[in-house]
Amino acid sequence: MSLSRVNSQFSDEHEHEHKSWVVVKRQKINILIPPSSPPDSTQLTVLKPLKNRNIQTRKGNVVKRSLPVVNFQFSITRIRFLNFEQRIKEHGGIRKWLISNGFQRFLPVFEREKFSVHQLFVISMENLKTMGVTPVGPRRKLIYAIEKLSQPL
């Protein structure tokens, strides 16, 4: 029985027990974090008023809060993509960028697959291998060139 099937059966059977648990997925490991224990009657938590908690209120009971840390990685990826897209446009498109960087051997593959800028940005070594680019060196050079193009100046 495969590991994914065992995991799905385990999660189906124990879903009702773990509704308040937090699942943290890191690489190939799933970590279940139990809910916090109920507060003791001896331990009272007093919340500060909104003014003292560094949260701004607006008319109509709307509260302005800062973005959660979870979106930070998404923001970085978005900025990298915008940099990449802008630089590809400056070069005159994917075809001209590939030719100017010595990646002519990839032209037939990218033209056959009709790659967009976004698809090129998220391409991986495995994707290139399944598309027929078997030598490791050229694949690494292309991935490195994409990463370099997406970095800020």
Is there a single domain that holds both residue 81 and residue 127?
yes
On whether residue 106 sits in a domain, the answer given is yes
Domain that includes residue 20, residue range: 1-35
Evaluate if pTM is beyond 0.75. Answer: no
- Domain count for the chain, please give it: 2
CATH of the domain at 130: 1.10.150.50
pLDDT of the chain, 153 residues: tens digit per residue? 444 444 444 444 444 444 566 666 666 666 666 666 555 544 445 555 545 555 555 555 555 555 555 566 668 888 888 999 999 999 999 999 999 999 998 888 888 888 888 888 899 999 888 888 888 898 999 999 999 988 887
On whether residue 104 sits in a domain, the answer given is yes
The predicted structure's pLDDT at residue 102:
92
Is there a single domain that holds both residue 19 and residue 83?
no
| CB-CB contact of 153 with 143 (8 Å) | no
**Smallest Cα–Cα separation from 133: which of 125, 122, 141?**
125
Using N-to-C axis directions, what is the helix angle for 71-91 and 136-150, rounded to 10°?
100
The predicted structure's pLDDT at residue 92:
93
Is there a single domain that holds both residue 78 and residue 146?
yes
Geometric angle at alpha carbon 90, from 87 and 91, rounded to 5°: 90
**Smallest Cα–Cα separation from 7: which of 20, 19, 21, 23?**
23
Q: Could you tell me where the DSSP H helices lie in 16-123?
A: 71-91, 94-100, 107-113, 117-121
Residue 31 makes CB contacts below 8 A (sequence gap 6+) with 23, 24, 25
